[in-house]
A = this chain, B = another copy of it.
Amino acid sequence: MTIPTSTNLARSDGGTPLHVVVVGGGLGGLSAAISCTLAGHKVTVLEQAAQLGEVGAGIQLTPNVTRLLRSWGVYDELRGSAVEPGNIWFRRWETGAPIGVTRLVPHFAAAFGAPYWVVHRAHLHEALVGRARALGATVEVQWRIESVDFDAPSVTTADGRVVRGDIVVGCDGLKSVTRRFFLGGEDPGPRETRFCAYRSTVPMAALRADPELRGLVEKPDLHLWIGHERHVMSYPISGGETFNMVLSHPHEGPVDPAATQEQLIAEMRQHYEGWDPKLTKIIRLIDKTSKWKLMGYERLKSWVHPNGTYVILGDACHAMLPYMSQGAAMAMEDAAALGRVLARASGPKDLPALTQLFADIRMDRAYEVQGRSALNGRIWHYPDGEDQRARDAGMAATLTGEHYIRSTNQWSDPSTQIWLYNHDAEGDTDRFLDTRLGTKTAPKSGVQEMREMGLLM
């Protein structure tokens, strides 16, 4: 595989490289750095923290993301620490009995041309930093931006350091500062959802040592227990040596910052009392956890400044419930699309029109994914009863191998799969731009057209 570099793509059209100032060195910001350097631009990433890094343990990388990692030259480096799970088991809260299953191996890689991975967030972050720098991006820490000037455009820190560029990309997450300036006084800030999540890891060795639990982790599968108001998502990370768990539960209001580990763990056990004995046994192995308030952002009217000098992406504009495992995925897709859009810029004068096209291709998709994530938060959390029985029946066909055209398991629902996992944030953006900019050419072959229409793998 030839990995494209910024050099071999750089402004082959003779346009002037832009200086892209990326605010935020998280997964979205680093992805934007990679995609924009690959598009031939100069990129400076400004991270507020003193050290680069990611909070949290595991992250699921669906084919719409691993496809990008491959295109960006990050895939091979991550492959070593990535786990490719075989299945996602949907389990009944009380018994752990399978309600449905999503077959990931071999189905997903075969069906979408890119695998389903679970990795440690730190590994992903590290790989992205390395690649961004190798492509020539500057990645700086201790740049806490305090103001944005959309006319210059420039960003400024509290101690008066200024970076000017042609465009500022706000990848500064849930607590985005650039967003505040972009929206002026109109930012209502993130909205608390009704949910919190405990995040914990358990050494896989502890599970393997227990004869009752061993079977559950023999294969590197994901297990999702769903019940009234609560669910537990779990999967192996770090090459299979760590069992990663996210335990979602209802909680109104903010998290008590003074809560001790003892209190959190006692509360966590209580939340899942009466659930599958295997699950509660695993929960009893947890000796450390963190509790997170799950936050969301309402749809913004726009993601771009009218003069083309600012775009916002990722959590800063579409923070969502993690119930489709698409939070970082959408930020990375945003970044990929931005790179393809900016690849068409011959200079700053093109930015107002091009950034609007970026918003046009991304906004509906990102907010639809946000909505589908919230939908899982309803579908998974029915109390036992009519809705729950219909849901369970609606994903039963995934267990038998018979053909089905709908599923209440959105990971397995064919229309959702094609829409979500078949999306190529680079290729589809290119085609969208071709259509909108009048540069579209007919598909080269029938095979290509059937593929672009999602009818053929």
Contact = CB atoms under 8 A, between A and B. Distances in A.
A434 to B, nearest CB: 16
Contacts of A390: 446-447, 450, 456
Interface stretch (A131-139, A255-263, A402-410): A402-410
Given A415-B419, A456-B390, A450 B408 contact: yes
Which of under 10, 10 to 19, 20 to 34, or 35 or more describes the interface residues of A?
35 or more
Residue from A111, A416, A450 having most chain B Cβ neighbours under 10 A: A450
Interface in A297-352: none
A394 B453 CA distance: 13
A183 interface: no
Contact of A456 (B388, B406, B416, B446): B406
A38 to B, nearest CB: 29
B405 A402 contact: no
Residue from A382, A390, A401 having most chain B Cβ neighbours under 10 A: A390
Contacts of A414: 405-406, 414-415, 418
A387 B444 CA distance: 11
A445 B383 CA distance: 12
B455 A410 contact: yes
13 contacts: A111-B405, A375-B449, A390-B446, A390-B450, A391-B450, A394-B457, A403-B403, A406-B418, A406-B455, A406-B456, A406-B457, A410-B455, A414-B415
Interface of A: 111, 375, 378-379, 382, 386-388, 390-391, 394, 401-408, 410, 413-419, 445-447, 449-450, 453-457
Given A391-B450, A405-B418, 6 more contacts: A387-B445, A390-B447, A402-B403, A406-B454, A414-B414, A415-B415
